[in-house]
Structure 1
C-alpha cells in the first residue's frame, strides 16, 4: 500500500501541513516502509514460543506470544500517516484485529487512509473510523482488548478514564516540554544546526521537538548569532516564501502560538499570519518561567531560552517540572552527559543531536509520567500488542511427587525442613536446579554413549 500509493500520501501530507517532500518521505512514507520490512524480516523469530528454565526437573516452562484480540489505534494529526499506521503494523504482526482511528484534524491524510486501507486489508478485521469528537466518544464506549493513543496529555487522560471502565490495557504516547541543554564545550555551529533542524521540521509540530533551551548567557549570545545566519541560509530573507517550511495545522493553533510571544522578548522572528496558518521560526530570550510558553507544550516554531549557570542548575530546573518525553544534551564532557542520563527521568535521550533516538528500531520510544506510558518501535511495537502467556507443562513422573511429597497433607515439620533445603536462597541456584542439570547431563551422556555404540557397531559390521 505504501509503495503503490506513495504520491497519494505525499499529496495528502502536503495538503494537511504543507509538508516538504523530503520531510514527508523521510518521516512518514519511507519510515513506514522500513518498519514493515523490519517486521517481515524478523517476525518468524518473534512469534516463536520461548522455552525458559524450570526450577523443577522434567518440567517445561513456556512463554506463548498471544494477541490481545481487538485493539484500537488512535493516531495524531502532526504526523498523521506515521503515528497512525506504524502502531497498526505492529498490532497486525502480533495477530490482532485493529480498529484504526486517524485524526480528523489532518483531514486529507485521514481520507487517504480510509480509502486505501480497505483495498489492501480485510475491512472487517481492520476497519477505519473517521470523524471528530462525537465518533471518538462513541468508539471509547466500546470494549477493546487494548487501546493505543497518540496525542495530547489532556485527551490522554480521557482515553485512560474510558479504558478504566473495562480495565483495558493502554499505551499513551503523549508529549510535554522536552529540554535542550547546551554547554560551552560544543561546536556551536554544528549544535545550532542540529537544534534548529529538530525544532523546525514540521514547523515545530513534533512531540519530541526541543521545547526550550537551557544555557549560560555567553552560550546564548553565540547561539543567537549563529541561529540568525543558519535560518537565513535555510529559509532566505523571508521565511514566509520558503518551500521548505510546513504550515501550522489550523488557524486556532496559530492564535494559540501568538499568545506565547508575550512570555519573553523576541530575539529572532516573531511574525505570523493566522489566515495563512503560518509562523516564522522564533527565538525568545528573557523568558518568564511562569508564562504560558514555559508551562504549556509549545507545538510550534517558538524556542524560548532560559539562562542557567551550569549543568547542575539545568538538571535541577528540569527535575522541578513534569518528566519530559525527550531530553537533548549538547556537551563533549562525558561526565556531564552521564549526569543528565542518570539524574533526569525522561522518555529518551539524544546526546549532541535531536530527534534521532526515535529513528532506531532497536530502541523503545515512549514517555514516562506525564509524557506517557508504554513504548513501541521495532520489536517493542510487537511486544506492546502481545500478551506473554505463561505455560508450565508438568510431568507425571512419580519421582517428582515422591521428591515433593511434603507439599501434600498431612503437613509435617520434616516437610518444612525439606522445603527449606530446596529453596533458592539467593546465594546461588537451589538443589532442584542442580538436580535438573545433573539429570540433563546424565541423559546427554547416555545418548552420547548410545550414538558411539551404534557407530562402532556399524563400523564392525562393515569390516
Structure 2
C-alpha cells in the first residue's frame, strides 16, 4: 500500500469534493436500480479483495485480534450488503396506501427518493465498519457520499482513502482525511449536505448537530451512554458471566454498546464475581497481555483517562497497565458509587464497575441517574422481571440473556434514544434513513365531484360533518 502525501493527510477542502457530487446527483446518475446494485457489488468486492490489508491496518491501529476484527468490521458488512442487494428492488418500489372516500376518484402512494449529497463521519473504535455500514444504506438509497474517517486511526483511514478512490468515481464517493474537528467544521460550514450521519461521542455529536442546524440539515447521531448489564438472581449465572466477559472485553471494552457497568442482585453478587474472574482467565489466560485474543487501547490520551477512572473504587481483579503497549488488563472494580467519575461518564475501556441492587425499583433508580443508555442487557429466567425492565427503562436497544448481538440482526433498527442518539439504521432502516418518502395522491379527471368547491351550502356542510365525525 502506498503512502499518502503529507498534504493529503491535512486536507484543505476542495470545492470539487462537494460540487462534483451535486452535479453527478442532479444528472440522475444514481437513481437507477442497476447503478445502485453495481455500486453495492463494487463495495463488496473492494472489501473481499482487501481483507488481509484491512485486518493488518486494524491491528496496527487498535491491536485487534483477527477474529474480532473480521467478525465486527468485515463480516457484518457482508451481511448488510447482501441484505441490501436482496431487497433493494422491493425497497425502491412505490408503496400503495389506502385513500379516504372523500378524495375519490383518487389513489395514493409513496415514493422513496434519495436525499442527495450526504456526509458520513466515522469513529475510531470500529473505524472500518462504522464508517462503511451507513455507506451501504446511502448507496442503496441513491445518494452521493463524502466520507470522513477518524484521524485517530491513521492506518485504516489511509487504507479507506486509497480503496474508495480506487473503487468509485470521485464525483460519486470520495474520502476527506485530516484533523477531525477542523475538517468536519470546514465541511459543515462551506457546504449544505442533504444529511449528516455521525457516529461518535455525545459531545462531538452535539457540536455537529448545532453546525448542521444552521443550514437546516437533518442529522443522524449514533452516540453512546452508560449501558447497564443487569444480572437478576434467577439468571443462569455461569452463562451470564461468560457472555458478559465476552461482550465487555471485546475490542478491549472500546465499544459503544458494550456493558458499561454491572448491576448485580445482592444475593448472588459474590458467586457471580467468582464466575466473572473464572471466565476472564479462561478467555485470556493468566496474563491477558500475552493473549492473541485481547486488544489494545487506542492511544495515550485514552490510557490517561482510563487510569484516572481506575483510581476510584476497589480493584478486585486485574488493574495492570503497560503504557508502552497501550495495554490495560481486564479489570473488575467494586465499591463504586454514583458520585464517582467512573459512574458519570462512558468508560470506553476494559473496566467493569460493579454495583449491587436489592429490588427492581432500586435498579431502575440507579439506571436513571444516567438516563437513556444506548443499550441495556438483562440476564434473568423470569418473564415478569423481563417485562418490568423492558417497560420501565428507556434505552436504544439491547438483549435478554445476551450482549451486543442485537447489532447483528439487519432486521432490527440500531440507534439510541434521548442523549444516546437520534435516528436508527441497519438493513431497510438504513435505506429509509437516506431516503425521503414522497407522498402522492393521483386523481382521475373523469369525475370531478363538486363537494369541496364554492359556493358552500348547508347540504355540503352536513355531508362534511357526517364524513369527519365517523
Using the size of structure 2 for normalisation, the TM-score is 0.88
Q: Is residue 380 of structure 2 the alignment partner of residue 335 of structure 1?
A: no
TM-superposed deviation, 1:322: 2.1
Of residues 157, 169, 179, the one that matches 2:218 is: 169
CA offsets 1:126-174 (integer angstroms, 9 cap, x no match): 0101111221221121210000000000000000001101111110000
1:78 corresponds to which residue?
Answer: 125
Of residues 15, 18, 22, the one that matches 2:67 is: 22
The answer to whether the 8 Å contact 1:266/1:285 transfers is: yes
CA offsets 1:78-101 (integer angstroms, 9 cap, x no match): 000000001011101000001011
CA offsets 1:30-88 (integer angstroms, 9 cap, x no match): 11111111110110110011111111332011111011100000011100000000101
2:8 corresponds to which residue?
Answer: none
Distance of 2:56 and 2:299 partners within structure 1: 18
Q: Is residue 402 of structure 2 the alignment partner of residue 348 of structure 1?
A: no
2:362 corresponds to which residue?
Answer: 313
Alignment of 1:200-219 (within 5 A): 200-219=249-268
Alignment of 1:76-115 (within 5 A): 76-115=123-162
Alignment of 1:153-302 (within 5 A): 153-302=202-351
Distance of 2:115 and 2:248 partners within structure 1: 37
Question: Unmatched 5+ residue regions in structure 2?
Answer: 1-45
Moved more, 309-318 or 156-165: 309-318
CA offsets 1:180-220 (integer angstroms, 9 cap, x no match): 11011122111001001000000000000000111133322
2:188 corresponds to which residue?
Answer: 140
Give SS of 1:388's match. Answer: strand
1:410 corresponds to which residue?
Answer: 455
Distance of 1:271 and 1:416 partners within structure 2: 80
Distance of 1:383 and 1:4 partners within structure 2: 29
Give SS of 2:220's match. Answer: strand
TM-superposed deviation, 1:311: 2.1
Give SS of 1:99's match. Answer: strand
Q: CA RMSD in A?
A: 1.1
The answer to whether the 8 Å contact 1:220/1:305 transfers is: no
Distance of 2:370 and 2:302 partners within structure 1: 24
Distance of 2:297 and 2:284 partners within structure 1: 16
1:394 corresponds to which residue?
Answer: 443
**Length, aligned pairs only:** 421
Question: Unmatched 5+ residue regions in structure 1?
Answer: 426-463
Using the size of structure 1 for normalisation, the TM-score is 0.89
Structure exhibiting the larger radius of gyration computed from Cα positions: 1
CA offsets 1:348-397 (integer angstroms, 9 cap, x no match): 12001100111101100000000001000111000000000011111112
2:166 corresponds to which residue?
Answer: 119
1:7 corresponds to which residue?
Answer: 52
TM-superposed deviation, 1:289: 1.2
CA offsets 1:206-263 (integer angstroms, 9 cap, x no match): 0000001111333221121111111111111111111111100001101100111122
TM-superposed deviation, 1:424: 5.8
1:63 corresponds to which residue?
Answer: 110
